[in-house]
Amino acid sequence: MILYPTIELLNGRCVSLNRGRLDEPHIWHVDPVEKALEFAAAGAQWLHVTDFDAVQGSNANEALVTEIIRCAGAPVQLAGGIRTREKAERWIDQGAGRLVVGTLAAQNPGLVKALAKSFPDQIVLAVDVWQGRVMTEGWQTQSAFEPAGFMAAYSDTPLAAFLVTDIDSDIEDTDASLGLISGLANATKTPLIASGLVRALDDISRLKYVRNVAGAIVGRALFRKAFTLEEAMAVVAQAPEPVADFI
């Protein structure tokens, strides 16, 4: 399982959001580029960067994101406002390792499938779930799609992964989230990245036992210093405990 230390950007600053609310961000007083370098130096295999300004249609962070991509020393999985072929191609040309699309996948599945074929294993499909439905527009709009059916529509698409967030449980109940994650992970052959679940090292330990979960987003907990990235990676590296087979 790969950990994705996460940098969320709003107005050029590192932030964390409560259930996606852009009007009440928690601002972390750290330099985004320096934080990216710190994560890479700690051994991160990937960085996950979300540009909340881009979600709102602004290019204000474009230069900053480009600097992170070029300077961090680890590949970047970029999310936020990627809703056209031109924008996707531009970020790939700028060196982004992967692109995360969500709203585009709900509105124009043909384009997402074409992008995945043009850039195999570089397109990640975000599945943000609230009250049993997939949310779009930065968690602001509820679609008619159920997550399992939404994912099944992309079963033959060469995606790098599904990035699944249980919005209902994002800041409340880890065990409830694992139920959603486990069910969706078992329903697809595409690797699944879990988001919004890791608040303590024990959460990483539990995720290791979920079949087909290939990664976990870790953001707020690292900024709060609940644990270090090195500690989290040590948990990932531990051999799982044996599980008895029952007939």
Active site residue ranges: 8, 128
Tell me the C-alpha distance between 128 and 142, whole Å.
10
Measured CA distances, 140 to 19, 58, 118, 173, 233 (Å) = 10, 17, 29, 21, 33
Distance in angstroms (rounded) separating the CA atoms of residues 50 and 30: 16
What DSSP character marks residue 200?
S
Q: What angle do CA 1, 81, 79 make, to 5 degrees?
A: 15
Q: How far apart are CA 67 and CA 51, in angstroms?
A: 13
Q: What gap in Å lies between CA 59 and CA 168, rounded to an integer?
A: 30
Residue with tokens 């880890």: 174
Q: Residue 27: how many CB atoms within 10 A of its CB?
A: 11
Q: Hey, how many other C-beta atoms are within 10 angstroms of the C-beta on 144?
A: 9
